[in-house]
Amino acid sequence: MQGLQDKVVIVAGAATGLGADSARRLAQEGAKVVVGDLNAEGAEKTAAEINAAGGTAVAAQFDISDDDSVKELIAVAVATFGGLDAVHINAGDMGAVSKDTNVVDIDLEIWDRTIAVNLRGHMLVSRHSIPELLKRGGGSIVFTSSVASFAGQPQRPAYSATKAGINALARHIASGWGKDGIRANAITPGLILTDEIKQGAPPKMLEDKLRETRSTRLGEARDISSMVAYLMSDDGSWINGQVVNVDGGTYLR
C-alpha cells in the first residue's frame, strides 16, 4: 500500500482478534502503531510481537467506554510519536453478545454495556481523534462494524443497533469533515475465523456459514486487516463515507 510509511496510527481494541491483526498489518506497512485495549496484557503482547518483527508499536491500556481514558489514549499517540494520522476503531464487548437475546428479554445492563462500548465508545474515540487528525491536515478513521448492521436477525438487537450506529457515524464524519481531509469508512465483516472463533465455534455452524457465502472458504483476520490498510492508505484516498462489506459474498448489496 502507498503512503502508510511512518504514519501514526491508533488501533483501539487491538489485544486480540481482528484488532491485533490490523495492528500487525499496519506496522508491516511501516506505520507507527499505538496498540490500545482494556486488556493490558494482550495489548503488550501485540506490541511486543510487532517490535520483535522489526516494526514500531507501543501498548496503551484504555477503556473505550470512559471519556477520560479515551483522551489519554489519543495523548499517548501524540506524546510518543508526535501526532496522529489514522485510527482503527475496533473494540467490541464480545462477552455481552451471548446475552444479547431480543428486545423483550434482554437484560438492560447488557443493552447499556453494549451501547457504551460498541457505539458510545466509538463516538468518543472519533471525537477526540478528529482535532488531532485536523492538525496534520486530515486523516483516516476506519470502524469495525458488522454485517449485523443491515442483515436483520432475530437475536443480538443491541449488537446490531450499535453496528448500524457505527455506519451512521462513519457517514456523519465523512460529511462533516471530508472537505478538511478526513475520511471515515466502516467495514462490515462477515464471520471471521479469529483464534477464539476457531476454538469455540461448533463445526456445524461453520459449515452453515460457509454455505451462505459465495466463496470457497470462510473469512480470516487478514481479509479485514488488508481492507483496513487499504482504506487508510493513499490507495484508498478517494473512498469516504462508505460501508464496505467484506464477507465472501454472503450479502450482495
Ligand X SMILES: NC(=O)c1ccc[n+]([C@@H]2O[C@H](COP(=O)([O-])OP(=O)(O)OC[C@H]3O[C@@H](n4cnc5c(N)ncnc54)[C@H](O)[C@@H]3O)[C@@H](O)[C@H]2O)c1
Q: Does the protein bind ligand X through residue 16 (CB under 6 A)?
A: yes
Distance CA 142, CA 163 (A): 13
Provide φ and ψ at 193, rounded to 5°: -80, 80
Q: Does 189 bind ligand X (CB under 6 A)?
A: yes
Strand bridging mode 32-37 / 8-12: parallel
Our finding on whether 100 is near ligand X (CB under 6 A) is no
Closer residue to ligand X in complex, CB, 133/192: 192
> Judged by CB under 6 A, does residue 64 bind ligand X?
yes
Specify which residues 183 forms β-bridges with.
140
Q: Which of residues 142-181 bind ligand X (CB under 6 A)?
A: 144, 146
Cβ(12)–Cβ(60) below 8 Å: no
Amino acid in position 180: D
Residue with grid cell 495492528, as numbered in its chain: 23
The x, y and z cell numbers of residue 235, run together, are 490507495
CB of residue 1 to ligand X, shortest distance in Å: 21
Counting contacts by CB under 6 A, is residue 47 touching ligand X?
Answer: no
Nearest distance in Å: CB 232, ligand X: 16
For residue 121, the minimal CB distance to ligand X (Å) is: 6
C-alpha triplet 48, 69, 132: angle, nearest 5°: 85
Catalytic residue chosen out of the listed positions 81, 111, 143, 159: 159
Helices (H), 136-220: 148-151, 157-177, 195-200, 203-212
Exactly one of 31, 91, 141, 231 binds ligand X (CB under 6 A); that residue is 91
159 in catalytic set: yes
194 binds ligand X (CB under 6 A): yes
For binding to ligand X (CB under 6 A), which residues are involved?
13, 15-19, 37-39, 42, 62-65, 90-94, 117, 144, 146, 189, 191-192, 194, 196-197
